[in-house]
Amino acid sequence: MDYILTTRALSKHYSHFKALNGLSMHVPKGSIYGFVGKNGAGKTTLIRLICGLQNPTSGDYSLYNISNGSSAILNARRRIGAVVETPSIYLNMTAEENLKQQYQILGLPSFDGIPDLLKLVGLENTGKKKAKNFSLGMRQRLGIAVALAGDPDFLVLDEPANGLDPQGIIEIRELILKLNHERQITVLISSHILDELSRLATHYGFIDRGHMVKEISARDLEAACRKCVQIKVSDIQALSRVLDNMGLEYRILSESQADIYSEINVTRLSLALVQENCEILSLHEHDESLESYYMNLLGGASHE
């Protein structure tokens, strides 16, 4: 697989605090990578490192297969657009003026691309309205427009939905999907809003205390979180025999509980268990969310 970003045992220490602690991650080209972790887990530190705002204490990373120790890393970073912590915009300027300023900073030869960029982020009709009078969602979209000014193919967004109202969150989501699908921009999103992230991400990296707990594709995560029927019985061996005879897929959880992944006929199952002198103690559908998966993952990680 082709990776835009790879980190290897990457660490960043501040005195006695380890913001990143041997982090290894892989962001596939063309993906929307959800970088998941609690506040203080190390998400923003990683973003600051790859953007060249700070240097790692140890370990290394590669952008487009170029190591951070290479002189060519500066050119690789020019292919990144980033919104770190808060959008880098001038509040006393209009959206167009903000983009002209960024174009000048980047040394771009003309302002011809600005109208299309404003239209892309839905700010083409803001006219002379200054950014200080924008909603939070509009400011976030302007920040993304500024990050896109250099025509990057890797966009890094630090908590892009933080503080936004539901409409603002929807607008940011649609913009990110558009950039990924229509412009083939790889997107790294750091977030702790898991419900929103689940609508976007094609891959996930779960970080805790500066260490990568697990990386998983959205497809594999969906399989891990798929719907099932959780059943509790008086005799797990009897249940196993019945389910085997019925050709149903299942997983034994304990001496009395199991998850059944196939569609079941409850009446037929009940009658078959009666023949085995096995009683159903409880039966209910279960559909694990990204949030519960994450909490279970961290619960396991904290005991390692």
Q: Tell which of 164, 184, 216 closes a domain.
A: 216
pLDDT-above-90 percentage for the chain: 76
Q: Tell which of 169, 197, 216 closes a domain.
A: 216
In a domain, 295, yes or no: no
- What confidence tier does 301 reach under pLDDT thresholds 50, 70, 90? low
Which residues neighbour 229 within 8 Å (Cβ) at sequence distance 6 or greater?
259, 260, 264, 283, 284, 285, 286
- Whether residue 159 is found in the same domain as residue 13: yes
120-149: pLDDT as tens digits: 999 999 999 999 999 999 999 999 999 999
Domain CATH for 241: 3.30.70.100
What pLDDT is stored for residue 303 in this prediction? 37
Sheet holding 154-158, edge to edge: 80-83, 154-158, 186-191, 32-36, 203-208, 211-217
In a domain, 18, yes or no: yes
In a domain, 298, yes or no: no
- Whether residue 133 is found in the same domain as residue 248: no
In a domain, 221, yes or no: no
Q: What is the 3-state secondary structure (H, E, C) of 91-115?
A: CCCEHHHHHHHHHHHHCCCCCCCHH
What pLDDT is stored for residue 191 in this prediction? 85
- pTM, full prediction: 0.81
In 29-166, beta strands by DSSP E: 32-36, 58-63, 66-67, 80-83, 154-158
**What's the mean pLDDT in 159-168?**
89
- Whether residue 153 is found in the same domain as residue 252: no
Q: Please tell me which residue, 202 or 284, carries the higher pLDDT value.
A: 202
Q: Which domain holds residue 192?
A: 3-216
Say whether pLDDT at 185 is over 90: yes
- What confidence tier does 162 reach under pLDDT thresholds 50, 70, 90? confident
- Whether residue 116 is found in the same domain as residue 78: yes
- Whether residue 95 is found in the same domain as residue 230: no
Kind plus residue range of the DSSP H or E element containing 205: strand 203-208
Say whether pLDDT at 302 is over 70: no
In a domain, 169, yes or no: yes
Q: How many domains does the chain have?
A: 2
- Whether residue 86 is found in the same domain as residue 143: yes
What pLDDT is stored for residue 304 in this prediction? 38
- Whether residue 119 is found in the same domain as residue 98: yes
Count how many residues are written for the chain.
304
